[in-house]
């Protein structure tokens, strides 16, 4: 007891200087991270002449109608709807099929399983640029270019990362559960749909969020396949936003960017722990 | 007839392998193939098949309209004399050279800062991570606006606070790549969280015994923290290298490869070759070269790190 307090005393001699330094650094970091976002919001609420003021004005004149204007200048409502349905469909499909496949790899014994799983993992190493061109040629042959099909159909194979993530999750669930179902006369489908799938909801949420972030932000996929502006998702619509103007309307562009990041941001604030878990799992797999 | 035949094959398989498989094991194996069948179909159609097709195409000249013409190693030979390959590869390598160390060092420093026990720790962690949610096109426009040479807030503040005339950032041939690397400031959150998770798993006993031996903060960092998290540093470095070599969106949105081709990255060139010029054969060769580059860099990182990375199990 006495040695413990003595040690704390010695340690705390310069402790307060350290504490202050840590706080100064934290607040400095906070400024660096948050000011760009504050500036984005401030710009979105300005008139165009205001955006060009020197010295820069941090408090805008609150032009809330900029957010309405965005929808009038370009078919932004259309883009938003396209992004929403496309993301929902691909996230559901990828997560479900990945879970299905992950169950096979986690719970069922078969010859050659290790080799097959090795192939799943190795496809994560392959840069997507290698398969991008033949995939385009296939969908071009099928006459499906300029539709969402080329972006949706490949999701039936699941994603290697999600399969890996969910397999890890299933391996962590006790095998006695499966045996209990088998004793009751249930087959593998019962084990998967009634037991493992409901129990792995936290894992599914993590996987779905990571897939959501990828789909919502992906530019190159829609850029390759979609050519009719009415079909654009937000990422592509936003990238072409300035085309309608002679001079870049920075206030409207920032307002449009904010609309595009709002869904991921809301999701983050409601499901923060799943975000962090997903990143940590992806970081510890190596 | 059919039944007999299947029994016959089963018998031969059995005698060959000399393993008796119970009906349950067989049932399980069939179920396994059923469950992984979506992946098998997806793999054949969208990964394995395309890999072979891509390799074949890379030895041809193909414009989609007429059928592919075999050119042997022609595409690969042409790569070496292609000015834009040189230009785009050097732009990409320069970017990776700046962005990778920047991401790793900044991510590690921020993780250490967020690992300190202070009030409001949870708030700071959320606030530092949140900006990395903004990605893709939005973050590209945000930085394009922050670093705007005329009305951007960064140059305005530089002028206002320090009296410095800021550079032209994305509009300057010298500054465009450093500007792209600077954008990683918004994306560093992911790397930071991985480092933070690994720091939290470090055994406290080591630090306590080091403190008893009189080790100071810096010495503890260099001799305990860095060796223990070295596998994570390696992982983050490899991920950052792979990511850097695939940079595309930022350049497409902000600079369109300019000024004067200085941010015309490799994947941008590949994209244009395939989907603006429809030179599918040459673009496939470009893709394979990208794969080889990424593969070699990954192996090189693993090789170089063999002496530098400390794995716990080796000493046990």
Taking CA atoms, what residue in A is nearest to B159?
A: A55
pLDDT for A173: 85
Instruction: Return mean pLDDT, chain B.
Output: 88
Identify whether the C-beta of residue B70 lies closer than 8 Å to the C-beta of residue B152: no
Cβ-count burial of A176 within 10 angstroms (0-12 exposed, 13-18 middle, 19+ buried)?
exposed
Provide, as residue numbers in chain B, all residues whose Cβ is less than 8 Å from the Cβ of A134: 49-51, 53-54, 57, 284
**Looking at chain A, how many residues does it have?**
286
Backbone angles phi, psi at B151, to 5 degrees: -115, 5
Structure tokens at B193: 């969280």
Question: For residue B8, is pLDDT > 80?
Answer: no
Question: For residue B77, is pLDDT > 90?
Answer: yes
What average pLDDT does range B157-171 have in this prediction?
90
Q: What's the pTM value of the predicted model, to 2 decimals?
A: 0.88
Q: Across the interface, do B53 and A29 touch by the CB < 8 Å criterion? A: no
Least confident span in A83-87, A105-109, A139-143, A267-271: A267-271
Q: How many CB pairs under 8 A join A and B?
A: 252
Minimal Cβ distance to B47: which of A26, A55, A123:
A123
The whole-angstrom separation of Cα B168 and Cα B179 is 10
Q: Cα angle at A25 between A22 and A30, to 5 degrees?
A: 125
Show Cβ contacts of residue A279 under 8 Å, excluding neighbours closer than 6 positions.
B190, B193, B194
**Looking at chain B, how many residues does it have?**
316
Q: Across the interface, do A43 and B145 touch by the CB < 8 Å criterion? A: yes
Question: For residue A5, is pLDDT > 50?
Answer: no
pLDDT for B160: 86
pLDDT for B209: 81
pLDDT for A212: 93
Shortest Cα–Cα distance, A89 to chain B (Å) = 17
Show the DSSP H helices in A108-232 as ranges: 113-123, 128-141, 149-152, 160-171, 176-183, 188-190, 197-199, 201-217, 220-225
B39 falls in which pLDDT band (50, 70, 90)? Answer: very high
User: Positive or negative CA dihedral for B148, B149, B154, B156?
Assistant: negative
How do residues A17-50 score in pLDDT, each as one tens digit? 888 889 999 999 998 888 899 999 999 999 988 8
Determine the topology of domain B76-315 in CATH: MetI-like fold (1.10.3720)
The whole-angstrom separation of Cα A252 and Cα A239 is 13
The whole-angstrom separation of Cα B69 and Cα B65 is 12
Task: Report the 10 Å Cβ neighbour count for A230.
Answer: 10
Q: Across the interface, do A131 and B45 touch by the CB < 8 Å criterion? A: no
A286 falls in which pLDDT band (50, 70, 90)? Answer: very low
Taking CA atoms, what residue in A is nearest to B216?
A: A11
Structure tokens at B218: 């810096």
How do residues A138-193 score in pLDDT, each as one tens digit? 999 999 999 999 999 999 999 999 999 899 889 888 888 888 888 888 888 888 99
Q: How far apart are the first and last CA of chain A?
A: 43
pLDDT for A279: 78
What average pLDDT does range B39-60 have in this prediction?
96
Three-state SS sequence of chain B: CHHHHHHHHHHHHHHHHCCCCCHHHHHHHHHHHHHHHHHHHHHHHHHHHHHHHHHHHCCEECCCCCCCEECCCHHHHHHHHCHHHHHHHHHHHHHHHHHHHHHHHHHHHHHHHHCCCCCCHHHHHHHHHHHHHCCCHHHHHHHHHHCCCCCCHHHHHHHHHHCCCCCCHHHCCCCHHHHHHHCHHHHCHHHHHHHHHHHHCCCHHHHHHHHHCCCCHHHHHHHHHHHHHHHHHHHHHHHHHHHHHCCCHHHHHHHCCCCCCCCCCHHHHHHHHHHCCCCHHHHHHHHHHHHHHHHHHHHHHHHHHCCCCCCHHHHC
Q: Across the interface, do A123 and B138 touch by the CB < 8 Å criterion? A: no
pLDDT for B273: 96
Least confident span in A95-104, B136-145, B197-206: B197-206
Residues of chain B with CATH 1.10.3720.10: 76-315
Q: Across the interface, do B32 and A113 touch by the CB < 8 Å criterion? A: yes
Least confident span in B74-88, B116-130, B173-187, B243-257: B116-130
User: Positive or negative CA dihedral for A249, A255, A258, A262?
Assistant: negative
Determine the topology of domain A68-284 in CATH: MetI-like fold (1.10.3720)
- CB distance from B133 to chain A under 8 Å? yes
Q: Across the interface, do A127 and B49 touch by the CB < 8 Å criterion? A: no
Shortest Cα–Cα distance, B7 to chain A (Å) = 20
Minimal Cβ distance to A217: which of B128, B136, B284:
B136
pLDDT for B84: 95
Identify whether the C-beta of residue B284 lies closer than 8 Å to the C-beta of residue A133: yes
pLDDT for B214: 77
What average pLDDT does range A50-72 have in this prediction?
89
User: Positive or negative CA dihedral for A234, A235, A240, A244?
Assistant: positive
pLDDT for A11: 53
- Among A243, A57, A221, A253, CA closest to A147: A221
CA distances to A93, B135, B138 from A85, in Å: 12, 20, 20
Cα of B24 vs its chain's centroid, Å = 43
pLDDT for A179: 85
* Nearest-10 Cα torsion for B74, B77, B81, B83: 80
The whole-angstrom separation of Cα A234 and Cα B238 is 31
CA distances to A45, A58, B254 from A262, in Å: 16, 21, 21
B312 falls in which pLDDT band (50, 70, 90)? Answer: low
How do residues A229-282 score in pLDDT, each as one tens digit? 999 999 999 999 888 787 889 999 999 999 999 999 999 888 888 888 777 777
How do residues A191-200 score in pLDDT, each as one tens digit? 899 888 888 8
Q: Across the interface, do B39 and A163 touch by the CB < 8 Å criterion? A: yes
B237 falls in which pLDDT band (50, 70, 90)? Answer: very high
CA distances to A36, A56, B100 from A40, in Å: 6, 13, 26
Cα of B51 vs its chain's centroid, Å = 20
Identify whether the C-beta of residue B194 lies closer than 8 Å to the C-beta of residue A283: yes
Provide, as residue numbers in chain B, all residues whose Cβ is less than 8 Å from the Cβ of A272: 126
Q: How far apart are the first and last CA of chain B?
A: 61
Q: What residue segments make up the domains of chain A, in order of their start? A: 2-67, 68-284
Question: For residue B227, is pLDDT > 90?
Answer: no
Provide, as residue numbers in chain A, all residues whose Cβ is less than 8 Å from the Cβ of B39: 97, 101, 120, 157-158, 163
Structure tokens at B270: 């590949």
pLDDT for A33: 87
Q: Across the interface, do B113 and A22 touch by the CB < 8 Å criterion? A: yes
């Amino acid at each position: 007891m006495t040695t413990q307090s003595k040690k704390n005393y010695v340690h705390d001699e310069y402790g307060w200087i350290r504490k202050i330094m840590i706080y100064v650094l934290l607040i400095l970091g906070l400024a660096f991270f948050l000011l760009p976002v504050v500036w984005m919001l401030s710009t979105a609420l300005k008139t165009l002449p205001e955006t060009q003021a020197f010295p820069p004005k941090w408090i805008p004149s609150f032009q809330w109608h900029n957010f309405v204007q965005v929808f009038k200048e370009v078919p932004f409502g259309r883009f938003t709807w396209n992004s929403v349905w496309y993301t929902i469909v691909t996230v559901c499909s990828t997560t479900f099929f990945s879970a299905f496949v992950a169950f096979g790899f986690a719970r069922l014994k078969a010859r050659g399983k290790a080799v097959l799983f090795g192939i799943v993992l190795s496809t994560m190493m392959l840069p997507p640029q290698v398969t991008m061109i033949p995939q385009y040629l296939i969908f071009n042959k099928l006459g499906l270019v300029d539709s969402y099909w080329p972006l949706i159909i490949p999701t039936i194979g699941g994603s290697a990362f999600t399969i890996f993530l969910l397999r890890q999750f299933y391996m962590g669930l006790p095998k006695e559960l499966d045996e209990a179902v088998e004793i009751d006369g249930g087959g593998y489908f019962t084990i998967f749909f009634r037991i493992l799938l409901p129990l792995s909801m936290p894992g599914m949420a993590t996987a779905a969020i990571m897939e959501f972030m990828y789909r919502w932000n992906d530019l190159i996929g829609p850029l390759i396949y979609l050519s009719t502006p009415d079909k654009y998702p937000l990422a592509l619509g936003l990238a072409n936003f300035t085309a309608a103007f002679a001079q870049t309307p920075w206030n409207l562009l920032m307002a449009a960017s904010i609309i595009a990041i709002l869904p991921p941001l809301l999701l983050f604030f409601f499901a923060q722990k799943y975000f962090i878990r997903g990143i940590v799992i992806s970081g510890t797999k190596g | 007839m059919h039944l007999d035949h299947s029994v016959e094959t089963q018998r031969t398989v059995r005698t060959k392998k000399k393993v008796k498989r119970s009906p349950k094991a067989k049932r399980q194996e069939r179920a396994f193939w059923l469950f992984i069948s979506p992946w098998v179909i997806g793999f054949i159609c969208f990964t394995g098949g395309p890999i072979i097709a891509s390799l074949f195409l890379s030895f041809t000249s193909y414009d989609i309209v007429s059928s592919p013409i075999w050119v042997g190693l022609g595409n690969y030979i042409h790569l070496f004399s292609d000015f834009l390959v040189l230009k785009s590869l050097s732009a990409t390598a320069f970017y990776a050279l700046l962005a990778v160390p920047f991401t790793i060092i900044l991510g590690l420093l921020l993780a250490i800062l967020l690992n300190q026990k202070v009030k409001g720790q949870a708030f700071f962690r959320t606030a530092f991570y949140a900006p990395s949610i903004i990605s893709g096109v939005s973050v590209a426009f945000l930085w394009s606006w922050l670093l705007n040479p005329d009305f951007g807030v960064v140059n305005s503040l530089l002028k206002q606070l320090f009296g410095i005339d800021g550079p032209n950032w994305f509009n300057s041939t010298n500054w465009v790549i450093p500007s792209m690397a600077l954008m990683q400031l918004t994306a560093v959150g992911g790397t930071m969280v991985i480092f933070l998770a690994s720091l939290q798993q470090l055994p406290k006993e080591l630090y306590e015994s080091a403190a008893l031996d009189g080790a100071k903060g810096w010495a503890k960092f260099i001799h305990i923290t860095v060796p223990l998290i070295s596998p994570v540093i390696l992982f983050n470095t490899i991920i950052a290298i792979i990511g850097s070599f695939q940079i595309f969106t930022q350049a497409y949105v902000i600079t369109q490869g300019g000024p004067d081709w200085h941010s015309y990255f490799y994947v941008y060139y590949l994209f244009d070759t395939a989907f603006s010029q429809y030179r599918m054969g040459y673009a496939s060769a470009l893709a394979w070269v990208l794969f080889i580059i990424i593969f070699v860099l990954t192996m090189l990182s693993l090789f170089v790190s063999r002496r530098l990375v400390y794995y716990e199990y080796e000493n046990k």
